[in-house]
Amino acid sequence: MITVIGYRSPLGPLTLAAEEGALVGLWFDGQRSFGSTLPERYIRAFGTLPSVLSQAREWLDRYFSGRDPGAPPPLRTASTAFRNAVWKLLLTIPYGKTVTYGELAARLAKDLQLAKVSARAVGGAVGQNPLLLMIPCHRVTGAGGALTGYSGGIERKRALLSLEAGAP
């Protein structure tokens, strides 16, 4: 059974979902694709939290304090092999850095031993990320560093990048 909690961030409320020791969802409330991986039935946690949700709260506290929060708690995604490969690649983007969709596509093509991977296809997978912040899709920009799509909203993307840029 999936367990859900809320988290009050400086950029608006978040919903976190966990199942069997892994975080399976993290969304800004009301964002596009909110709760995309939640089943119809889940438990809203009160009182003592499952360990992974406590770890996730601590990670978010460090993140929103402007510090590199380190490795995220255990994460689990359930999607296509392509999306999972893109999301795994997003986890390699260092805190405070950005990469373009084209750069990700080139890296993915190399990893998958393909001649080419479409930046648009990578963008589609990035846009379906069910674990915002933990899988840092906000660190992906358009060509030349242009701020493009973010399911949490462009203003939040700008704020997250600014927060990371100010880190020691």
The residues annotated as belonging to the active site are: 137
In angstroms, the CA 109 to CA 104 distance is: 8
Max Cα distance, the chain (Å): 52
First to last CA, the chain: 39
Q: b/e per residue, 112-144, with b = 16+ CB within 10 A? A: eeeeebebeebbebbbbbbbbbbbbbbbbbeee
Q: Find all residues with CB under 8 Å of 49, minimum gap 6, and list them.
A: 3, 5, 57
Q: The tokens of 168 are what? A: 């020691």
- Other C-beta atoms within 10 Å of 48: how many? 8
Pairing of strands 12-19, 22-28: antiparallel
